[in-house]
Structure 1
């Protein structure tokens, strides 16, 4: 009899546990993972965000591919607020936006009311139209590559650092010595090549003459109003103007809804280490340093922040300066 009662007690506990878990899943919608928001309107304008320094465009591209192909999505709106970033990811975002535009034949409108510079501007070249606020910062067409020479700091710390290499350019850009002239020429050639790719893309997508692009593609930043006058953007406006333009281009009239891709929410499976798939903004790595919290216990983080080591020794399509997110 006791064994029978014990069995029923265990069964009751199991049923209770599953009931509680069911309620939690129903209430939270994302206890065990992301509750996916569905597109319901037959005429939908997909809204994507491109914010911060572009060091990794995987999530943006993943969302673009995931939602753009849906039949209910009639147009795409990319809201940009970015100073640019790494060359490869910026070019990849441009290519994927262009692929949606050309292969799916769906209008893609980019809009910026803050800053759309360098790599972010490169990415926006894949859009059909670019809408900018009159006071937005636009352009910064160019390539920059930064290095840090801290050999005197090593001398002060009485540290002798050296390397053994397989070739004379293997340690080019090393922080423990000055750069040779042949190394400068090597890096300048690399920068010129990427710069040429940038200019060609702008000329092709904006339908501008080479002499016009060459004159203004010297790293300068325009206001949105000037960018429109010179042909580097299509029209002045704000977010709602861009939404209206997307609807007009897709011939939706007033029968549409704007669908904003939901941000990924934490689930219990993320508690161990979080999401390893960064979006374009990776300055979160230095959040504590930027807020003045890491200088005491995290000297390495402080040094990284001061030297900006994440951005060294690589060509960047980036408007200089840090952004705190």
Structure 2
């Protein structure tokens, strides 16, 4: 062992010679390791850090509040109905327009996006024709009738042609609103894979009294009259109440068929033919054309061409436009889902209210209505 190269060799006492070390009479002690004493954070420093963190949190909350106020203020001064015009096809800067009004998803109250489009077209003097794009399984009786009423009124007031283009589905209430075409020939186009028809009315009711009995749960509601709970899920419907509800459905059904006659003149003198179709059955585009429920099988482009033809528009001097919701600051920042308002308690309570539906759906109308809260109305 070479002690001359050992760093500990320099630390041995002066009287210890190499020979003494070689004889094993001396072992150098290991080098002393430094001891570092780490001083903990003082109470004042911890308190200062806590206040700093709370300060940043308060700043963040204030920033969010300011953004919310700006959004509210922008909505207050917004006169566009919350929608923006987007060029679809044709000449972008033209004197005349064909406006595409979209009715999509489950129809609830008829307000919102659908009504905003109608109002926008009404106020635009350059719109010379309308293409109603329907992709909806229907919805509530009132909502469907509300949209039909305003579309029909729009067509009559502006005295311009309205042509329907059916998407993947235009059934029940979706077919109902399509009747705003009036008695114009060759005015309803269905795509080859469109599902339409489903002319009928339904009031959903689900009896969970058996399930409640299984878990010993009882309905102890206090009502002003037994009929107040006609559609209560906690009990079967008595025959007397069923007759009242059936009369309600029959009246809504009669109105549905009268509306169909407004848009399908051939059925005005042939109610029996309409009765054969108005069973709630859905139809393919081919069957619907054979039955007179639609006029042509074609896509949106064919419907646009037909609208231009009816309005005597020059394709080289016509712009086809549609209307979109503008993105909000929350949408762009990712803080909220685009066009997906989170349902609140009042909305959920509204969905549980008894109502009649012009709806074609394989799932309960309640669930179809709930899904509407997560899409554009």
After TM superposition, the score normalised by the length of structure 1 is: 0.75
Instruction: Say yes or no: does 1:169 pair with 2:230.
Output: no
> Contact conserved, 1:78 with 1:111, CA < 8 A, in 2?
yes
* CA distance 1:32–1:95, shift in 2 (3 Å): closer
Structure 1: give runs of 5+ residues left out of the alignment.
Answer: 1-30, 287-303
2:287 maps to 226
Once the two structures are superposed, residues 196-255 of structure 1 have per-residue CA deviations (whole angstroms, 9 ceiling, x without a partner) of 000111123201121111111001111112212221112111011011111111111212
Aligned equivalents of 1:135, 1:65: Cα separation in 2: 31
Match of 1:66 in 2: 120
Pairing partner for 2:324 from 243, 258, 262: 262
Quote the offset at 1:285 in angstroms. Answer: 5.1
Q: CA deviation at 1:100?
A: 1.2
The alignment partner of 1:186 has SS state of helix
CA distance in structure 2 between the aligned counterparts of 1:264 and 1:250, rounded to whole angstroms: 30
Displacement of 1:32 in angstroms is: 5.5
Superposition CA RMSD, Å: 3.2
Deviation at 1:179, TM superposition (A): 1.0
- Between the two proteins, the alignment pairs up a number of residues equal to 270
Match for residue 357 of structure 2?
316
Residue 159 of structure 1, CA deviation: 1.9
Secondary structure at the aligned position of 2:229 is classed as coil
Equivalent-residue separation in structure 2 for 1:117 and 1:311 (angstroms): 23
Q: Matched residues in 2 for 1:310 and 1:103: separation?
A: 34
Of 255, 258, 278, the match for 1:217: 278
Q: Normalization by structure 2: what TM-score? A: 0.65
**1:269 CA displacement:** 11
Q: 5 Å matches for 1:18-33?
A: none
Structure 2: segments with no counterpart, 5+ residues = 1-72, 76-81, 88-92
Contact 2:148/2:180 (8 A) holds in 1 = yes
Moved more, 237-246 or 204-213: 204-213
User: How much does 1:156 deviate?
Assistant: 2.7
| Cα offset, 1:36, TM superposition | 4.5
Q: Following TM superposition, by how much is the alpha carbon of 1:121 offset from its aligned partner in structure 2, in angstroms? A: 0.3
Alignment of 1:75-154 (within 5 A): 75-127=129-181, 128=184, 129-154=187-212
Q: Equivalents in 1 of 2:221, 2:283: separation in Å?
A: 44
Change (3 A) 1:32 1:93: closer
Whether the 8 Å contact between 1:68 and 1:76 is mirrored in structure 2 is no
Aligned-pair distance for 1:115? 0.7
For residue 50 of structure 1, what is the aligned residue in structure 2?
103
Partners of 1:65 and 1:102 in 2: CA distance: 14
In 1, Cα distance between the equivalents of 2:167 and 2:180? Answer: 18
Does the CA contact (< 8 Å) of 2:144 and 2:173 recur in 1? yes
**CA distance, structure 1, for counterparts of residue 111 and residue 120 of structure 2:** 12
Counterpart residue number, 1:299: none
Contact 1:266–1:274 (Cα < 8 Å) also in 2: no
Tell me how far apart the structure 1 counterparts of residues 109 and 355 of structure 2 sit (CA, whole Å).
14
3-state SS in 2 of match to 1:249: helix
220-229 or 175-184, larger mean C-alpha shift:
220-229
